[in-house]
Each structure stands twice: as C-alpha cells, then as structure tokens.
Structure 1
C-alpha cells in the first residue's frame, strides 16, 4: 500500500517554491531563513488556514491578495514589547520631543504596528510629555488580525512586569498601571489612549503615501524586506515626512546602504533615529 501523504523531501521542495513565490510576487524574502523555524511556522499556518498542502498555499498566495497578510501572520513575529529597547524611547523623549513641541499640531505614523505595543508606548510617552492632545496617531499594519488586536488594547498579565520595567527605563513620568485595568489574568489599556488614533490597513509593499508626518516609527519591519523593497518603503517614509521630520528604525536596521539615505541626516545615530533634510 502506497502512502499518499507528501514526503519530507517533497514538503521541503514545496516550501522553497512557496518562499520563492512570496519573494517574486511581493518581494518579501524569507528564503535564507532557518528552514526548521520557517517550516514549523508554515505548518501551523497550513493547518489553521485549512490548506491540504504547501502547494495549495502557494496557489492561493499567487491569486488571492488577501493571502499575503494571512501568511505573514505566521512568518513574522507579531509579539513585541511596550517600550521595547527603552533607550530608543528615552531618545524620543529627550531629543525628539523638544523639537516636536514647536509645532501646533502633530502627526505620528507607527508603520507595522503589529498588536499595538509600540503604539501604546508612544501615546503614553506623548501624554506624559503633554503632546497627546495635539497629536494624531496613525497605526497601520498589513494584518487585519494584528490591527484588531491593537485596537482592543488587551495583553496578558504575565507581560506587564517587562512592560513596566521598560517604561521606567525609558524615562516614564508616571506608573504604567495608571493606564490600564487588570482582571482575569489580562490587562486592558484605557480607551482614552485610542481617542486620537486612526487604525488602518496599509502595505509598505503596494500602497502609496498618505498625510504629512512629523514622526514615523517603523521598527523591526524592514529586516524582512529585500533591498529593493527596503528602498521602496524608505521612499514612502521620505515622501510622507514633513521637512525636518523624524524617522525611527529598529536596532538592526539602517539607512546606510539605502538609495534614500541622502534625504536624511543622523539625529541619534546609536538609536537609529534620523531626520529628514530640509532641502
């Protein structure tokens, strides 16, 4: 009797073809990531999305644009931390905020907001610095699931000690517990933190510029892109920023090799915070 289930070797071929299709169609490059990790994540996605094979997932990816967001939910890490890399937020507070105070109104874009950790970090920081009321925050992500989670503002209680310590190290001027209510092993961040927030589906791969921003924070997103797509995303940020606006990237990201690098100056180099040139 012949076993009709795909062999391990066949599945590995299917996965490589799926990753190649993802790169060729959308320019997200996971081809050189550790196979064991990628395979584990894709198996989870295949089972939960109801596909019989990785080849079926590939067909859907090529013909259904909505599949990209679903697939990236499994391939990218959707869990961050509030005030992740506290020194970054300390630099925003100490170095960037004094410049932002000079504007009567502000727009801040959190690109790739995931489940909202960075969004709430920035809103709390702006509230503590007296800038929240004059600021409109745009929280965007390619994943509808992530946006819904961000808008809910609910996190498990076991994550709060780390959030609290990060907030303290970032120069927090209050207690993080002032901003949430706890019950049944979960915390719910106060609805008032979302009063100036616009949640929106936006893809750095395919969508265009919107608004004129004073600060764009896009951290740990570009590491998943190839060079061409990094340049495209950075071009969007350049066009979206007001003159002398600020761009914050992740610790492992840089403008050094980008075609867009000439449009920016280093503002806080060690924290990957850049400023749009005035010319």
Structure 2
C-alpha cells in the first residue's frame, strides 16, 4: 500500500471515529491509531465495504451496526487468572493489606466478558474476603457486559483456566465454581452476588466511588499517551492512600504524569500502591 493511500485511509478513519462519537457517544478518537487501523480494516472486509468511508455510511445509517462495530473496536480477549503470577502477587502481597479493612471495594475496569472479574471473586472467596467486598465490573461494550453477567464460557477453555488457577495459588478446585453442559461451563451464580455490572468509559466518564483495589489490565495498551494519562488520573482519584492499582504485563506508569502518586509495590507484576493524600 502506498503512502498516499495510507494517508487517505487515516483521514477516513478519523472521520469515522468522529462520526461514531457524534452519533453514538462512543469515543475511540484517542485510541492508538495502529490498533484501530488494523481492526477497522478487518471490519471493512467482514462487512464487504470497499473503503472505510463505505463502512462509515453503514454505521451512521444503520443503528444495528454499532453494537457489531464495538466488537471490532473493543478487545475481548481474556482468560481466567491470566498471567497467574499477577494473581499470586495479589493473593500473597496485596490481600494481607486488604484484610485489615472491614469492607472493601474493587473496580475491574474494562472487564470485557468477565474472566478477570471472576478470577478476583474466586481469589477473594478463597482468601475469606468475598463477603466484605463489593466488586464493580465496568466496560463500554454492553454485549460484553451481558456475557460477563451470564458467566458462560466454552468448556474447551477450562483446561487453561484451571492451570492458571493452580499457578495463581488457588486453594480449591476451579471445578467447584461451575457446572457443565452442552460443551459450555456455567459459573456458579453466587459468584455474582456482590458484583455490580455497569457500562463506564475511561475516555469520557468520571470516578464513581472510592476503591481499595483497581485492576485494569491490558486495556491501556490500546490508548494513546494522553488517554493513558486520563485513565491513570481516574485510578489515582479513585484510590485512597495505600490503595492498589494493577495493570497488564506490558503496561507501566513510568511515563505517566501521575506516576508520582504511586509507588512500585510488586514491580514485576505491575502492581502499584497509592501514596500521598
């Protein structure tokens, strides 16, 4: 593809993102261009559109297209206890601090289809903290939130989930938390009794409460630098002194304007602690 064509395509992409924001109030304008470009090229192919502009016409004039587009513009790739060392660090190093509070609030930001949420709920149950904890599971994709609330996953994924759980220091069997049927696994509904599911955008929305732990993993890698700063600012404002922030393995606070509000707590697993007032 020539440089000239690439430039025209980028113009089309920015016009499409602006149209989505004006028409549907989803703001992807500060997402990393390389990632957005790749995903929109796939959407253009799948929807049989010759150009991004043709894709824009469909999105603007067919409201049923927008939920489908969210599947391309938001990344729904996760697994339970993904990066087990992160959850082991939460279990061994963060939980002892959280256990000193009479009640707890945990925010899973960008919860996607719920795998990380249920991982934390199970971990908190195993560590005796679930009953005193309220979990907030948020995402901008309502279809993903509906899948998270249903708690149904393909049975062929459970082998990896089970191994991750074991490596995370799990003290029970993961099979204790689900039932199987028709090649699907349905998570125990009691895992949702202390969970609030809600749509929330790190791009446009504000903090909605004080949290003791914020876990936002593998979300900010798709943001540009300014939007990463905005998200970290939200987490800073949501956490009291000594609260904890967990990020993905490829994410860091090193270049954030808000880095001074945190200290490294478990550097290898991207867990930070809020300092100051």
**TM-score in terms of structure 2 length:** 0.87
**Correspondence for 1:163:** 161
Of residues 239-248 and 16-25 in structure 1, the stretch that sits farther from structure 2 once superposed is 16-25
* Counterpart Cα distance in 2 of 1:221 and 1:88: 16
**Correspondence for 1:193:** 191
Give the Å deviation of 1:152: 0.3
For this pair of structures, how many residues does the alignment match?
A: 268
Of residues 215-224 and 75-84 in structure 1, the stretch that sits farther from structure 2 once superposed is 75-84
* Counterpart Cα distance in 1 of 2:43 and 2:58: 17
Partner of residue 173 from structure 1, selected from 171, 174, 193: 171
Give the Å deviation of 1:12: 6.5
Once the two structures are superposed, what CA deviation does each residue of 1:183-239 show, in whole Å capped at 9, x if it has no partner?
010000000000000000000000011110000000000001011100001100000
Q: CA RMSD in A?
A: 2.9
**Correspondence for 1:219:** 217
Partner of residue 31 from structure 1, selected from 30, 33, 39: 33
**Correspondence for 2:14:** 20
The structure-2 alpha-carbon separation of the partners of 1:261 and 1:59, relative to structure 1 and needing over 3 Å to count, comes to farther
* Counterpart Cα distance in 2 of 1:263 and 1:185: 46
* Counterpart Cα distance in 2 of 1:151 and 1:61: 27
The structure-2 alpha-carbon separation of the partners of 1:187 and 1:100, relative to structure 1 and needing over 3 Å to count, comes to same
Once the two structures are superposed, what CA deviation does each residue of 1:11-53 show, in whole Å capped at 9, x if it has no partner?
9777433433466764333422496665224433x36xxx785
**Structure 1 residues not aligned, in runs of 5+:** 1-8
Partner of residue 272 from structure 1, selected from 253, 257, 270: 270
* Counterpart Cα distance in 1 of 2:39 and 2:207: 34
**Structure 2 residues not aligned, in runs of 5+:** 22-26
Contact 1:111-1:216 within 8 A present in 2 as well: yes
Partner of residue 89 from structure 2, selected from 88, 91, 103: 91
| 3-state SS, counterpart of residue 108 of structure 1 | strand
* Counterpart Cα distance in 1 of 2:205 and 2:62: 17
| 3-state SS, counterpart of residue 242 of structure 1 | coil
Once the two structures are superposed, what CA deviation does each residue of 1:135-181 show, in whole Å capped at 9, x if it has no partner?
00000000001000000000000000000000000000000000000
* Counterpart Cα distance in 2 of 1:59 and 1:18: 11
| 3-state SS, counterpart of residue 212 of structure 2 | strand
1:182 aligns to 2:180 (yes or no)? yes
The structure-2 alpha-carbon separation of the partners of 1:232 and 1:192, relative to structure 1 and needing over 3 Å to count, comes to same
Contact 2:263-2:272 within 8 A present in 1 as well: yes
Give the Å deviation of 1:243: 1.4
The structure-2 alpha-carbon separation of the partners of 1:200 and 1:270, relative to structure 1 and needing over 3 Å to count, comes to same
| 3-state SS, counterpart of residue 93 of structure 1 | helix
Of residues 69-78 and 159-168 in structure 1, the stretch that sits farther from structure 2 once superposed is 69-78
**Correspondence for 1:4:** none
* Counterpart Cα distance in 2 of 1:143 and 1:34: 16
Contact 2:44-2:50 within 8 A present in 1 as well: no
* Counterpart Cα distance in 2 of 1:100 and 1:40: 43
For 1:130-145, list aligned pairs within 5 A: 130-145=128-143
1:108 aligns to 2:106 (yes or no)? yes
